[in-house]
Structure 1
Amino acid sequence: MNPSPLPSRRIAGWTCVALGFALVVLLGLGVIGPGTGDPPPASLGAALMGLAPTLALAVAAFVAGLLLLRADRGGTRR
């Protein structure tokens, strides 16, 4: 019999997933990002390079949440 999963790991996992999703939504709405106070970038490449750090943070939080939730199941496939 598997011991009951830690609720703190599940809460942390769902929090990371929600944080990653919220960061992507805020980027899409233009609330955070490189164009919030500066003049718009001259090229699309410059705009994408400005978004890269924030998007990488959002993806990392989302993946960390998924890993926490996956480890919550004990790492076994069902």
Structure 2
Amino acid sequence: MTPRRIAGYLCVAGSFALILLLGYGVIDPIGASPAQATSMRDVLIGLMPSVLLALGTFAIGLWLLKGKK
């Protein structure tokens, strides 16, 4: 297995772990605190940076896995 594939698998696993930790409340979101939000829009805006970080890590992992062989 090449280092590129290992890094790809680590990125995909890391993104899943980040989403699970956010979902269970183990880590706090990067954005504004959703606990003080007054509407669902504010909650989604507060969670957006963390979710986009996980999505970006997942996309990079897929790129590494499916890249040039």
- Could you say which TM-score interval applies, normalised by the shorter chain? 0.7 to 0.9
Q: Which residue of 2 aligns with 1:41?
A: 37
**Mind listing any 5+ residue stretches in structure 2 that lack a counterpart?**
none
Alignment of 1:70 onto 2:66 = yes
Query: Taking every aligned residue pair, what percent have the same amino acid on both sides?
Result: 45
Q: Which residue of 2 aligns with 1:27?
A: 22
Could you say which structure has the higher helix fraction?
2
Deviations 1:3-62 (A, max 9, x none): xxx611011000100111011111111222234xxx432111111100000000000000
Aligned residues: 65
Q: Aligned match of 1:52 in 48, 55, 60?
A: 48
**Mind listing any 5+ residue stretches in structure 1 that lack a counterpart?**
1-5
Q: CA RMSD in A?
A: 1.6
**TM-score normalised per structure 1:** 0.74
Structure showing greater relative contact order (alpha-carbon pairs closer than 8 Å, 6 or more residues apart): 1
**TM-score normalised per structure 2:** 0.82
Q: Which runs of 4+ in 1 moved over 4 A?
A: none
